[in-house]
Amino acid sequence: MFKRIHIKRSKSLFSSENNGFDEKYRLITPQLFKNQRNNLISKARHSWNQAISVFMPARCGLCQCISDSGFCQQCQDLLPWIENGCRQCGATLVAGDICGRCQNTRSEWQETIVPFHYVEPVATLIHQFKYQEMLSLASPFASMLASAVIKRCPILPDILVPVPLYTASLRSRGYNQSTILAQELGKRLEIRVADNIVVKSRQTKSQMKLSEKARETNVCGAFNVVESASGVSVAVVDDVITSSATVKEVCKTLRMSGCDQLSVWAIAKTTKQE
């Protein structure tokens, strides 16, 4: 059922020279093979869109004026920036740096970085990026998220881990928006993207109409670690944080595998003032 192959440590992403890993062999499972195949398709689609963009003038994603930065400065100033967010969960704060809920709740990760409220026009832009193949939005989103990261993080994580999609969902959509976002972030911040460490092992219901408790139950046990992340610091990358149920489960899975330095990065968070 399984084929054990030898991986040259000097070439491996997870060698001791690169990230502190000391694995001489890697187990290739059917699930890992499918995940690698679908990620290659996702990267090819992204590369094709980038190639097309070379022959077309870059325009602002909102007002459509010609702009090399994705959004012109005037539109950037109008975006719903989070001025003061909880260091732990990203919730909007009136004062302080950590909300009351996080002060009384144990978290699976240490820090959340998210630049925007999930309201218009960001909500529509993320929907276009996620469901309508507007992959050109990945670049400006990554630039603005990277700026927020640089302001908050004096020490960057070793690797970026995008929240994975289930194989059937990835095949249907054609790409994982979190992987595309992580790749753009990795280029800007010079951080490796490890998109095969965590896989989604089963299909889950849509989270959109579920309660907070139902969301946690829905994704419970839905992720597996197929490559050890022990001893490295990780930033989990997602597009939107709503109840935090999904990123919580991904971080919990990574923590159980031995990773104890975790942060969560996303484009936007649903608005809830604490």
121 is in which domain, residue-wise? 34-269
181 within some domain: yes
237 within some domain: yes
The pLDDT, as a whole number, for residue 55 is 57
CATH classification at residue 219 = 3.40.50.2020
Question: In one letter, which amino acid is 208?
Answer: M
226-269 pLDDT, tens digit each: 988 888 999 999 999 998 999 999 999 999 999 989 999 999 99
Confidence of residue 46 (pLDDT cuts 50, 70, 90): low
15 within some domain: no
Sign of CA dihedral 194, 196, 201, 207: positive
72 within some domain: yes
Is the confidence at residue 208, as pLDDT, over 70?
A: yes
185-197 pLDDT, tens digit each: 999 999 999 999 9
Locus of tokens 């970026």: 160
8 within some domain: no
26 within some domain: no
Split into its structural domains, the chain has a count of 1
Locus of tokens 């595309």: 180
The pLDDT, as a whole number, for residue 74 is 87
Higher-scoring residue by pLDDT: 201, 26: 201
176 within some domain: yes
6-27 pLDDT, tens digit each: 444 444 444 444 444 444 444 5
202 within some domain: yes
- Provide, rounded to the nearest whole percent, the portion of the chain with pLDDT above 90: 51
